[in-house]
Structure 1
């Protein structure tokens, strides 16, 4: 049995979980050794009682890892373990990182520069508009947007990132073969088709339930550099995500709403308790620091080596902007691009914290 097969088998077993598996690995050394251990040795491990020991000893009654791996390949889904280079490094800092991840699409190293955006499933038009604006701004500036593919705010967060031609990660609370909600299958396909990934720690055929969603929330919290709550009531799973992120030492941002709106009460409570009030993506970028991008065709500095190059138009306009103030007309003439293209591109470069706009429609590079 390979290590992958053994890990998949352990992940398929009920009532085990990543914390118990970690203890088992510390005791037995390898995943295969766990599955081959006698029951009397299994129950010696801290947290492994008679019931769990019996499940592990008779694991073949509960799991068929070969069939699970074969179905994953058939569906075009990768299984990534903690030992794989593609495993998201921020998750390894969590107390209970997922034993493995099912990945539809591709997780890239640059996705560690992530911001979680969460909120209510019953989003108002205000909440959706704010979320799309902020997600668009942050994804356009190079951050990967992490959310849960749920109805409402999550859906809008992913859509905003896609509209900015940025990256987004959807962490779902079910198996990938039981994608929930089903009406978001089209959105999931767009994400997986070169714009990010849909991921789950649950076996393929796992349906969603009340336990899987809080487990999903801890992944969003651990993966993200910061978590932004754009709209939610007082009792909301989004507050669970924010609290988990706070325990991980992440910054929490919240968007205010009307004091009469029950759909913003959760955000107001977060702000009262110390979350940073946000109404524009630029505030988060100033707080966290902009990402460094490299114009296409130029050598990358070390901090930027893992980040995507600028588009051809962005690189061309960026090259025309110097440290001295440049009037926009001069940039247009020097680039040879149409004026509307240049002005739109300058806005993108400004959001990426590469240039700054000065009075009189003049631009310069950020120092």
Structure 2
């Protein structure tokens, strides 16, 4: 048995976990040696009691690594370990890094520059719009958006990253063969088809439960350069992710919400506790201090870059905005378009980072 197959076997065993496996790997030469070790030798390792040692010594009755690896290959899923070059660098420094990762799609060195976007499954229109705006801006700036593929905020974050033609990573609280929620299968497939990856530390057929989601959250916290919470109640798994990231010394950003809405209590409390209040992607970019993508710097002799080709309504409204401040009422009057069309189009232009909004619903060029 190869060391990789032995790692897959260890990952398939019940009630072991990454912390115990790490202790075992520190005491043995590799995963193969762990599986071949006698019970009394295993029990000398801190945290390995008799029950755990029995599971390991009888591993063949619990795990079939060759079938698991073949199933993953058939599904187009790769299994990467700590020894592989594409294992995410930020996870190597985590307290309890995943033993291995199942990856549907592709990982990139660019994913080191990642921002976790998390929030409630039961979200409001306000929460979704804030998430889409900020995630679009961050993805456009070159950051990989990491979230959990859950309903609500997670879904909005992934969709906005795709809309920006950026990268996004979905970290699951289930095995990839038991993708949850099932209605996001199409979204997961789109992510995997050239826009990032869907990943899990769990064996393929692991169903989601109350334990797997907190384990997923620790990966998001460790992998991300910063965490953005866009909407969540006072009790939420998103707060667990934020707290874990804070323990790693990573910045926490939060979107404020109405003080009388339970759906915003978690974010508002994070801000009260010291998280940075954000209303625009630029607030995060300024705090992080750098963009992951190096932009070419223009010289006086350079020709100005052409504007992107815009749909008719966007181009029309964009033409009414200049370096001076343009009130929304004046833009509506000049365009002759309905107010709801103008405001929706202005948001699209803002998300494209062509304009910026000023207090009092005034707009100017970036």
With structure 1 as the length reference, what TM-score do the two structures score?
0.84
The structure-2 alpha-carbon separation of the partners of 1:27 and 1:166, relative to structure 1 and needing over 3 Å to count, comes to same
Q: Which residue of 2 aligns with 1:125?
A: 125
- Equivalent residue for 2:104? 104
Q: Cα deviations across residues 268-300 of structure 1 (Å, max 9, x unaligned)?
A: 1101100000110000001112325357xxxxx
Partner Cα distance (1:125, 1:48) in 2 = 49
Report matched runs for 1:184-263 at 5 Å.
Answer: 184-263=184-263
Distance 1:16 1:336, change over 3 A: closer
Which 5+ residue runs of structure 1 have no aligned equivalent? 296-317, 352-358
Distance 1:30 1:239, change over 3 A: same
- Mapped partners of 2:349, 2:129: distance in 1: 23
CA-CA distance at 1:12 after TM superposition: 0.2
Cα 1:336–1:283 shift into 2, 3 Å: closer
Equivalent of 2:304 in 324, 328, 331: 331
1:305 is aligned to none
Quick one: distance in 2 between partners of 1:219 and 1:195?
Answer: 19
Instruction: Work out whether 1:24 is the aligned partner of 2:24.
Output: yes
Q: Indicate the larger mover: 120-129 or 22-31.
A: 22-31
Contact 1:141–1:290 at 8 Å: present in 2 too?
no
Q: Paired residue for 1:322?
A: 299
Contact kept, 8 Å, 1:256 with 1:267, in 2: the verdict is yes
Q: Secondary structure at the match of 1:146?
A: strand
Distance change (3 Å), C-alpha of 1:281 and 1:182: same
Question: What per-residue deviation string (whole Å, max 9, x for no partner) do you get for residues 164-195 of structure 1?
Answer: 00000000000000000000000000000000
Distance 1:164 1:4, change over 3 A: same
2:137–2:353: 8 Å Cα contact kept in structure 1? Answer: no
Tell me the alpha carbon deviations over residues 20-74 of structure 1, each in whole angstroms, 9 at most, x when there is no partner.
1111111111100000001111111111000000000000010000000000000
Q: Given the alignment of the two structures, is residue 181 of structure 1 paired with residue 158 of structure 2, yes or no? A: no
SS in 1 for 2:304: helix
2:43 maps to what in 1? 43
CA distance in 2 between partners of 1:155 and 1:168 (Å): 11
Could you tell me which runs of 5 or more consecutive residues in structure 2 were left unpaired when the two chains were aligned.
320-347, 356-362
**TM-score relative to the length of structure 2:** 0.84
Could you say what secondary structure the match of 1:331 adopts? Answer: coil
Aligned twin of 2:13:
13
* In the alignment, structure 1 residue 172 sits paired with structure 2 residue 172: yes
